[in-house]
Chains A and B, each alone.
Chain A
């Protein structure tokens, strides 16, 4: 099984170093849930709830897929949105994302 390292900083500021499989068709929301981090994933990964809103803090933004219209639309209804905001469910885990650092956005 191939995997990468992903660091997730929770809402209390604690870093979690996670080993993330890249051959399981997983996204960042699913990764956080399987590590029992406080990400709801309410809509099941359809970019329809923003409960997996996070900030990409490492320089990986350019190597991941562009935001779709659905994702942009959903971020319109999220709060605390910044330039580096993404929905975790729309970030597919891939080898190019090794070393990625993401921070969970505040709930709300």
Chain B
């Protein structure tokens, strides 16, 4: 078998077929599973985050939300749990921790969506419920930073062994910066420096204390009231410049710089899907939340139309109308009867 055939076979063997492929497993995407399920349509969700729930689960699971009808107050994380429970009878599939990357139409008019890890999905309908987009590491505004990406500058620590015996500078004051400082200082890296904007640290008090102890015993170098403002090196990073509030510029020789400033959302590859986009949002027709591409819909915070409000409850409404239109596209000859759950309850798959 040639290499080409093997690739084709591998791709086919893991192809996931569904009725509605939902990009984004936030509240709006999860509620789509329920509404589609009532019409006997199956759903599969892709999300770049490792868990379902979108922003609600990633950014503010413990924050209360006050504008969900019938819930005077509900924690964002609990809302996600409830939506998962509501979707459960309809057995949604999930591809989590992967970003929807490329989209093509096959000869039968179905969409083939491939993720950054090569998982292939096929569906006649795409519902983009991508919220704010994909969460990506925040990159500090330092000149020539891009030249050193993967040449000494990394925004995520994937494998700590990569840093064994190396000099590492970490920036940030949150849990990931503290935890990695503690981990790498424990006999992994040869030298660890933590640079932070101010004296105070957020993050778990235990981790903060450990970092302070390591600094006091000279096992790490702690530079507070400073920030990395410059990178240098030929081919590979060999030094960073720290601007210190009182001591001026300090040059640190290092093999790696790992800036850990959290995540921020970016529209990502969807921007290249030939959809009409205004101000980072996808234009839709409010009749059924269809985009300019036949068979692709956009619901929730990622879409825009005159009078748009970015509210979870508006996304629920959009999802409900969208699946009606999707049903008619998949079964043009069937008469759709609106399902009232009060008559027969919810019948899962």
Contacts and interface: CB of A to CB of B under 8 A. Distances in A.
- Interface SS majority for chain A: loop
Contacts of A43: 55, 59-60
Interface of A: 42-43, 46, 48-49, 51, 69, 72-73, 75-77, 79-81, 106, 108
Interface residues of B, number: 21
11 contacts: A42-B264, A43-B59, A51-B264, A72-B200, A73-B174, A76-B173, A76-B196, A79-B138, A79-B140, A81-B197, A108-B138
A66 to B, nearest CB: 14
Interface string B147-175: 00000000000000000000000001110
A72 B59 contact: no
Interface in B51-69: 55, 59-60, 63
B132 interface: yes
A46 B262 contact: no
B174 A76 contact: yes
Interface of B: 55, 59-60, 63, 132, 138-141, 172-174, 196-198, 200, 202, 261-262, 264-265
A77 B262 contact: yes
Nearest to A42: B132
Of B132, B172, B196, the most chain A CB neighbours within 10 A belong to B132
B141 A49 contact: no
Contacts of B139: 108
A69 B174 CA distance: 12
Contacts of B132: 42
B174 A77 contact: yes
B76 to A, nearest CB: 10
A56 B264 CA distance: 24
A48 B141 contact: no
A48 B59 contact: yes
B265 A42 contact: yes
A80 B141 contact: yes
A72 B197 CA distance: 11
Contact of A77 (B141, B172, B198, B265): B172
Contacts of A76: 172-174, 196-198, 202, 261
Nearest to A73: B202
Contacts of B198: 72, 76
Contacts of B63: 46, 48
Given A49-B59, A77-B174, A108-B138, 19 more contacts: A43-B55, A43-B59, A46-B60, A51-B264, A72-B198, A73-B173, A73-B202, A76-B173, A76-B174, A76-B197, A76-B202, A76-B261, A77-B138, A79-B138, A79-B140, A79-B141, A80-B141, A81-B197, A108-B140
